[in-house]
């Protein structure tokens, strides 16, 4: 039985999906700025992989990735989707021990992921679009040290600052075009 008083699952939240669409980021080409952020996330967290992940309605797409080959995954393989409703950093010290992720194909098969930490990419309105995350093939029973967690948060804020600048620039260009046409 579905409880009609429960909020919709964060992945299918219409406001969140509309916000993601408004940023116009899905499917865009790689950019040095975002590539640099995932490189720094890997270095700060001493992790073999880092991603800027956006969770769409039917898949997750990576704007930037370092140490991880796929450019997107189905939602069934998305650990980041679990972070959408988190107020803060989602840390899963051992993906094989967590009921949300132990059957995930990226955990049970190649690349045999074991650790996840994701900082939410949250709009000014409080909607979470995805995460800046780091991944490891070894569990980390102690999670992330405070300094690494703070670094991941700071870099996630930079991702959102870049997205906000892009959105403001697009709005300014549209206004200029409107004024020129008038």
pLDDT tens digits along 144-166: 999 999 999 999 999 999 999 99
Distance CA 148, CA 152 (A): 6
Helix (H) or strand (E) holding 39: helix 32-45
CATH code of 10-181, in short, is: 3.30.450.40
> Using 50, 70 and 90 to split pLDDT, how confident is the model at 87?
confident
| Contact criterion met (CB below 8 Å) for 139 and 162 | no
CA distances from 50 to 99, 123, 156, 160 (A): 23, 21, 12, 16
At 170 the pLDDT is 85
pTM of the model: 0.88
At 181 the pLDDT is 87
At 2 the pLDDT is 36
At 4 the pLDDT is 37
């Amino acid at each position: 039985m579905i409880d009609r008083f429960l909020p919709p699952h964060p992945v299918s939240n219409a406001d969140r999906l509309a916000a993601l669409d408004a940023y116009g980021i899905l499917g865009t080409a790689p950019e040095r700025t975002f590539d640099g952020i995932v490189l720094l996330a890997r270095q700060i967290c001493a992790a073999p992989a880092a991603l800027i992940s956006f969770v769409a309605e039917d898949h997750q797409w990576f704007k930037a990735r370092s140490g991880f080959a796929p450019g997107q995954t189905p939602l069934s393989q998305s650990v980041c989707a679990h972070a959408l409703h988190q107020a803060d950093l989602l840390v899963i010290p051992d993906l094989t021990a967590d009921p949300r992720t132990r059957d995930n194909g990226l955990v049970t098969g190649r690349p045999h992921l074991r650790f996840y930490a994701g900082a939410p990419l949250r709009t000014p309105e409080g909607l979470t679009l995805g995460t800046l995350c780091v991944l490891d093939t070894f569990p980390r029973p102690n999670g992330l040290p405070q300094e690494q967690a703070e670094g991941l948060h700071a870099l996630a804020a930079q991702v959102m600052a870049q997205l906000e600048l892009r959105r403001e620039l697009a709005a300014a260009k549209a206004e200029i075009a409107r004024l020129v046409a008038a």
